[in-house]
A and B are shown apart, each in its own frame.
Chain A
Amino acid sequence: MEFKLEAHRIVSISLGKIYSARGQRGGLKLHKNLLVSLVLRSARQVYLSEPGCPPEPPPAAAAGHPEEEQPPPRSAAWAAEEPPPPPPGEQEDMETGNVASLISIFGSSFSGLLSKEPKGRRRPPLDGGEAAAGTAPAEAAAEPGQICCDEPVLRTLNPWSTAIVAF
């Protein structure tokens, strides 16, 4: 359980770092962001794989947003996309908690930060998450500060790829 809490904390810190890297002078540092995404992936794997998670949603991330509940239909859609499921309730709790944090970081324009889904991105979310984690620095290195989207795709994307691609 402690590992899970620590893992969640590390996930939040890592997301915060990727976020703040966007505005850094000199452009995205590929090396640092690669390392952060590797830590993010390890922490996420620990979080998802550890048995016996706490029933209540994990504490909200650095932004300190109090919202921890999302409208059920939305979280159900995400839960359905997650493959090897931890118990669905637990999965939803983690997803909603983190997405709430992400939304609070980005504000209401979150969906506007998503890119068009390129071919091959829609894979089983576990792979997608890992691959997307590696994409984060790459995406940004290739096209920093640009990504926009025609329509809201938040509902249909795995939240991890959502979060990373947004950067």
Chain B
Amino acid sequence: MEGERICEVDSGDGLGADIISTVEFNHTGELLATGDKGGRVVIFQREPESKNEPYNQGEYNVYSTFQSHEPEFDYLKSLEIEEKINKIKWLPQQNAAHSLLSTNDKTIKLWKITERDKRPEGYNLKDEEGKLKDLSTVTSLQVPVLKPMDLMVEVTPRRIFANGHTYHVNSISVNSDCETYMSADDLRINLWHLAITDRSFNIVDIKPANMEDLTEVITASEFHPHHCNLFVYSSSKGSLRLCDMRASALCDKHSKLYEEPEDPSNRSFFSEIISSVSDVKFSHSGRYMLTRDYLTVKVWDLNMETKPVETYQVHDYLRSKLCSLYENDCIFDKFECAWNGSDSVIMTGAYNNFFRMFDRNTKRDVTLEASRESSKPRAILKPRRVCVGGKRRKDDISVDSLDFTKKILHTAWHPTENIIAIAATNNLYIFQDKVNSEMH
């Protein structure tokens, strides 16, 4: 895939509060939301295509910025609650306003985003600045009229879903019924109604009676895109559980369990860590699920529980370095994964600001880099290669010179076009494939 860089946003205060922690396109792809470690949400809007400036077509510019979450303190447990935004999910648009859910470790909030581009002028009792007029000067009655004004984007918190979680919230997912959503923490999943904040239903609880017996936690969860009764959750042991809310109120018992037996030749101290699933995503068709663990991405067919139908190696050259990666904590990095709109290509991030794409049809894969040096505006992305010994070509990177502080954990793909958003620490890159704009 060829691409060109459209924009890079960097608030650059260097304090770490602007490290991007989540990226999400809305359902039309017109808006792109990012959340950061400092609790802020920045929404970008795509400029409409214009005949006068064809090269500006498709640029994303800042539409709105707001502070979603603030740091809090839990006095009972003497714990600080981080303001970092873990996930953002857009609601399907039902009227002129846009809505999204944003969550930190404990609290989910529903935000409404509205535009104001007109204001009333010509009040009888107030002047233009809002001060009361001297009544003796009012001699006739006028009807206020709406006059255009500079576009103002207003964001208001409409609901706050608090006190639902003891453990850290790792994912939220809006149901296809557009009325409910679920939130998952390490041990429990709750079902909420979007209009009701003072209660939620617990639908999954894997907390053991004796915490000493704890062996696995929930790592991610998502509703099926079409069947409002189905959802999946992934575990730290590498398994997926598909649950049907029609079967029972408490979905502790799964309908289907997707698990691949471990390869005994790969066993090491770190086998359990690298099999932990960091992200799970349904395909747009609803037929497949995509999972990411430390070294691979896997495509699962909902009809086959015994093993994935496809497995792609993201960076297998790290398998011999797991001890060092354990030492520097990189082995705990949680990479996300994404489908393109037609479910033919999957994408995930890696280290050294590299991200990988796998074409499921041609079985070809490519490694690309998101960086300032290699991406001037309008530049074409050059495929990169990590050499693992043997013949080394020019421009190859050796495994030992990979920068493990530059990790791409969060990526998103436009729902219908070949536009991708890549979060590289505190920079956001948006790439567009001009050659193949249509999805196939």
Query: Which A residues are closer than 8 A to B by beta carbons?
Result: 6-7, 10, 13, 17, 25-27, 29-32, 34-35, 38-39, 42-43, 46, 131-132, 134-135, 137-139, 141-146
Contacts and interface: CB of A to CB of B under 8 A. Distances in A.
A35 B79 contact: no
Interface in B66-83: 74, 77-82
Contacts of A135: 211-212
B272 interface: yes
Nearest to A28: B79
B326 interface: yes
Contacts of B211: 134-135, 138-139, 141-142
Contacts of A38: 215, 272-273
30 contacts: A10-B326, A26-B79, A26-B80, A27-B79, A27-B81, A27-B168, A29-B168, A30-B167, A30-B168, A31-B168, A31-B170, A31-B219, A34-B214, A35-B272, A39-B269, A39-B270, A39-B272, A39-B273, A42-B269, A43-B269, A131-B212, A134-B215, A135-B211, A138-B214, A139-B211, A143-B77, A144-B77, A144-B78, A145-B78, A145-B79
* Contact size range, B: 20 to 34
Contacts of A10: 269, 323, 326
B107 interface: no
Contacts of B326: 10, 13, 39
Contacts of A43: 269
A34 B212 contact: no
B217 A31 contact: yes
Contacts of A31: 168, 170, 186, 217, 219, 236, 276
Contacts of B13: none
Contacts of A145: 77-79
B269 A27 contact: no
Interface string B200-224: 0000000000011111110100000
B167 A141 contact: yes
Given A38-B215, A138-B214, 15 more contacts: A7-B269, A10-B269, A10-B323, A26-B79, A26-B80, A26-B81, A27-B80, A30-B217, A39-B270, A39-B273, A39-B326, A141-B167, A143-B77, A144-B77, A144-B79
A93 B273 CA distance: 29
Given A31-B217, A38-B272, A134 B212 contact: yes
B63 interface: no
A39 B329 CA distance: 13
Contacts of A141: 167, 211
A109 B81 CA distance: 28
B373 interface: no
